[in-house]
Amino acid sequence: MDQLFSHLTVADIHQELIRNIVSLSESENPFDDLTSSTEECFLAHQVESDARPRPYQSHTPEIDRPFEDALWFKGIHWPFNNQQTSRFSDGSFGIWYGSDTLETSVHESAYHWFRGLLCDAGFEQEEVTIERKLFSVACDALLLDFRPVASNYPNRLHKTDYTFTHSIGARIHREGHPGLLTLSARHQGGVNYAVLNSNVLSNPMPHSQLSYRLHGQTITVEEKSGVLCMEINTSVFFS
């Protein structure tokens, strides 16, 4: 670990990053298949509302408009308020992940979606569709740059074994660094950003709405209008 960190450089980042999340293009009632009672449906919505995390709290509430709260919450603050196990976190702290391009973002998110289908006993054999929303988010930070050293630690910075990367994330979090950037494990030449401090992220803006459709061994990615964006053969996830 010490040897790896001794060879790190930093990158002064001032650019727009792509954040890719699960999101329906049109809202649906999540309780319509549970009850037909208006009273029971109202109660379910009330419970869901009470349990929902608080939205972004603006430092200038008299300026920020309500719809901006939603952009901040979805585009930036969600992973910090809802910690999950990921490449650089064991789940004890939150990390925001973004990519340099739409293509890198799609390859990364499609891999994790497909891996989830494999875990759900046979779902990868079905034709399945998921909708994604992409945000453009400004990042202004001095980040630890793992790109130059990645090739020297192929067995430690592993594609699927996160043991070592968890220890990297824990150290960065403990020492108060704002984040890191590293080469994408799913898209050759792509770059991913792991941010631990939400203060270096700003100006979240809607980028695009995509749908992923798995049929056979191919994931078809389409824009909201139905225009084909790209196709991914799932065999690349195991190479």
The number of folded domains in the chain is 1
The amino acid sitting at 68 is E
User: What are the pLDDT digits (tens) for 76-88?
Assistant: 999 999 999 999 9
Report which DSSP code applies to 235: G
> Would you place residue 107 in the very low, low, confident or very high pLDDT band (cuts 50, 70, 90)?
very high
Q: What would the DSSP string read from start to end of 22-71?
A: E--SS---TTTTT---HHHHHHHHHHHHHHSPP----S-TTTS-HHHHHH
Q: What angle do CA 209, 215, 217 make, to 5 degrees?
A: 110
Longest dimension (CA), the chain: 63
Q: Between β-strands 96-99 and 89-90, what pairing exists: parallel, antiparallel or unpaired?
A: unpaired
pLDDT over 50 at 27, yes or no: no
Contact 71, 65 (CB under 8 A): no
pLDDT over 90 at 206, yes or no: yes
Domain ranges, residue 199:
2-238
pTM (2 decimals)? Answer: 0.81
Q: What are the φ/ψ torsions at residue 184 (nearest 5 degrees)?
A: -65, 140
Report which DSSP code applies to 227: -
Q: For all residues of the chain together, what is the average pLDDT?
A: 85
Instruction: List, in order, residues 6 or more apart from 122 with CB less than 8 Å away.
Output: none
Host H or E run for residue 135? strand 128-145
172's tokens: 């960065």
The position carrying tokens 């650019």 is: 15
